């Protein structure tokens, strides 16, 4: 059994990208083999990885097992028993409230400690029911105290869709996930005006590739099982990678399934503004009643909460009330939760209690698909040659691609010419000039050498001390990620090294990046420096 798994892992490591192998295959372990029944059991560390591996890799692993034993093998994927034992423990220990101190002094709660591991996907156990009940009671008591002390006469200035009289009196929602049909009054409301959802952003027009397929899979599961699967769902990644599209798609899907669901999309800056207005207008009882009554809350760009102690406190109570009521919370950010500065420890721990998923920049094939889909939506026929040319030169994010396409379409219309590669070069001349100044292996070597305070010559020397070998491996990794060079070409530029040496460096850094927050931060800084 162990011999097979070593053989299988080695083959899959060669077939998959380093990130795919480290994320999905490396955490698996064979736990049982029954020769008589011809069954093999393989354990996954958590439910999400179990479901994903079954859907994506079970066929290939079964084929390898059949070839290894020369017989059909029933490969079964099971949850690691140790994961179940861990699930019995509370995910987060309760903490005393710091809200009163923050409110009295105006000082922000203590920010999160120095981040530790930063894996791409992290699934944690659900909170202990007793702890959750205590926290919900604390949240309810806090809301009641505020409601008694504040006057809601000026609430009309807040962007809070009104509750029905019954809901306002009872403080309850008309519908909860799984409770059946919505109330007639809810169905009559202007759904999209209430929710602030963009009906155009759906799963159907979300272009999927390796960079975002995991995030999309998690989003679909949350849309199908709100408040049950992965609560909260935390999506993070750079600007223009599709985080906002994905959370709108979740909301739109839930509205299709449950038209009476109480859903709200809000940008973090608007939430901060609403908190301020609620205090200024003494309308906090309406503010709390509204946000605590939702079935789905979508908070975009939560890094804007940084340093806003009052906003963080109120969001903490809203979060606790929603999760206790089995409502779903979905959050986006431009960075990993523990790396967001100026956010209270309590919130960071809540973000970590669900599922955290990264969205990466789109790969070449995905960029081509995005351009073709966008052109089609504009009623324009775009050739694959033109789409490939643009995608090859513009790599950072979806918004940049869409902006480039708009320039091409406008240039074509203004000059009355067909869209071709020649026209595309003219339309994007300034943009391509900037891109072409970036990114060479030589530039990567110099940037990494400067960052780690070594000589550029050390990059292609035979020296092997750790303070030189490590930066050299990082430079090889970045060369593979940020340029079109092949492994042999990269090896040649690093002192004539063999391509297997480069491959080892790429896999090693990719593996460690998912475990070492400091390395992940350094790589992020280097990538941003190189991309200008």
**Annotated binding-site residue numbers for ATP:** 240, 242-244
Q: Does residue 174 carry a pLDDT above 70?
A: no
pTM of the model: 0.52
pLDDT score recorded for residue 166: 36
Tokens 């970036």 sit at which residue? Answer: 438
Name the architecture of domain 117-162+188-358: 3-Layer(aba) Sandwich (3.40)
117-162+188-358 and 364-437: same fold? no
Mean pLDDT of the chain: 78
pLDDT score recorded for residue 532: 59
The 10s digit of each residue's pLDDT in 209-237 is: 888 889 999 999 999 989 987 899 999 98
CATH for 2-81? Answer: 3.30.300.180
pLDDT score recorded for residue 82: 67
Enter the DSSP assignment of 22. Answer: I
HSE-up (13 A, CA, CB side) for residue 401: 33
The 10s digit of each residue's pLDDT in 141-172 is: 544 444 433 333 333 445 565 444 334 433 43
Where is average pLDDT lowest: 215-229, 411-425, 515-529? Answer: 515-529
The 10s digit of each residue's pLDDT in 428-453 is: 887 776 555 557 898 899 999 988 98
Those residues whose C-beta lies under 8 Å from the C-beta of residue 472, and which sit 6 or more positions away, are 458, 459, 494, 505
**Annotated binding-site residue numbers:** 240, 242-244
Q: Yes or no: say if 281 and 155 are a contact pair by the CB < 8 Å rule.
A: yes
Q: What is the CATH class of 441-531?
A: mainly alpha
Cα dihedral 396, 398, 403, 406 sign? positive
Mean pLDDT value across residues 65-89: 74
Q: Which CATH number fits domain 364-437: 1.10.8.60, 1.10.3720.10, 1.20.120.530, 1.10.357.10?
A: 1.10.8.60
Where is average pLDDT lowest: 14-23, 73-82, 482-491? Answer: 14-23
pLDDT score recorded for residue 314: 92
Mean pLDDT value across residues 494-502: 90
* Beta-carbon count within 10 A of 323 CB: 23
pLDDT score recorded for residue 83: 56
Domain positions in the chain: 2-81, 117-162+188-358, 364-437, 441-531
Residue 109 — pLDDT band, cuts 50, 70, 90? very low
């Amino acid at each position: 059994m162990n011999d097979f798994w070593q053989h299988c892992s080695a083959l899959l490591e060669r077939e998959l990208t380093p990130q795919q192998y480290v994320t999905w295959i490396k955490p698996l372990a064979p736990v049982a083999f029954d020769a008589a029944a011809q069954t093999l059991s393989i354990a996954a560390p958590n439910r999400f990885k179990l479901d994903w591996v079954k859907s994506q890799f079970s066929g290939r692993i079964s084929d390898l097992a059949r070839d290894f034993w020369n017989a059909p093998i029933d490969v079964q994927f099971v949850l690691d028993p140790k994961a179940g034992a861990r699930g019995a423990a509370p995910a987060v220990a309760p903490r005393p409230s710091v809200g009163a101190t923050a409110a009295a002094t105006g000082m922000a709660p203590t920010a999160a400690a120095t981040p530790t591991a930063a894996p791409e996907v992290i699934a944690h156990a659900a909170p202990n029911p007793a702890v959750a009940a205590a926290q919900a009671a604390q949240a309810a008591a806090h809301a009641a105290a505020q409601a008694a002390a504040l006057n809601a006469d000026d609430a009309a200035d807040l962007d809070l869709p009104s509750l029905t009289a019954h809901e306002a009196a009872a403080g309850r929602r008309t519908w909860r996930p799984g409770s059946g049909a919505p109330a007639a009054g809810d169905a009559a409301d202007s759904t999209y005006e209430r929710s602030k959802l963009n009906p155009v952003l759906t799963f159907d027009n979300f272009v999927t590739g390796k960079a975002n397929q995991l995030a999309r899979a998690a989003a679909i599961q949350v849309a199908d099982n709100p408040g049950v699967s992965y609560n909260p769902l935390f999506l993070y990644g750079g600007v223009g990678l599709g985080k906002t599209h994905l959370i709108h798609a979740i909301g739109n899907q839930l509205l299709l399934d449950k038209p009476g669901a109480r859903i709200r999309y809000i940008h973090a800056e608007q939430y901060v503004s609403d908190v301020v207005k609620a205090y200024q207008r003494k309308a906090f009882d309406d503010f709390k009643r509204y946000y605590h009554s939702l079935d789905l809350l979508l908070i975009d760009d939560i890094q804007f909460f940084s340093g806003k102690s009052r906003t963080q406190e109120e969001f903490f109570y809203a979060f606790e009330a929603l999760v206790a009521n089995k409502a779903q919370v979905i959050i986006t950010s431009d960075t990993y939760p523990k790396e967001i500065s100026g956010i209270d420890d309590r919130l960071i721990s809540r973000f970590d209690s669900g599922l955290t998923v990264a969205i990466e920049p789109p790969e070449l094939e995905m960029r081509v698909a995005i351009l073709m889909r966008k052109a089609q939506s504009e009623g324009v026929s775009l050739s694959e040659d033109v789409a490939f040319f643009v995608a090859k030169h513009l790599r950072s994010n979806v918004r940049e691609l869409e902006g480039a396409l708009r320039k091409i379409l406008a240039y074509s219309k203004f000059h009355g010419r067909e869209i071709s590669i020649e026209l595309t070069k003219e339309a994007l001349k300034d943009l391509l000039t900037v891109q072409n100044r970036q990114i060479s292996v030589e530039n990567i070597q110099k940037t990494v050498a400067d960052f780690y305070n070594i000589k550029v010559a050390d990059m292609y020397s035979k020296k092997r001390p750790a303070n030189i070998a490590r930066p050299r491996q990082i430079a090889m990794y970045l060369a593979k990620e940020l340029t079109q060079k092949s492994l042999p070409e990269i090896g040649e530029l690093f002192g004539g090294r063999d391509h297997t040496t480069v491959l080892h460096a790429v896999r090693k850094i990719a593996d460690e990046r998912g475990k070492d927050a400091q390395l992940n931060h350094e790589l992020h800084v280097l990538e941003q420096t190189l991309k200008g």
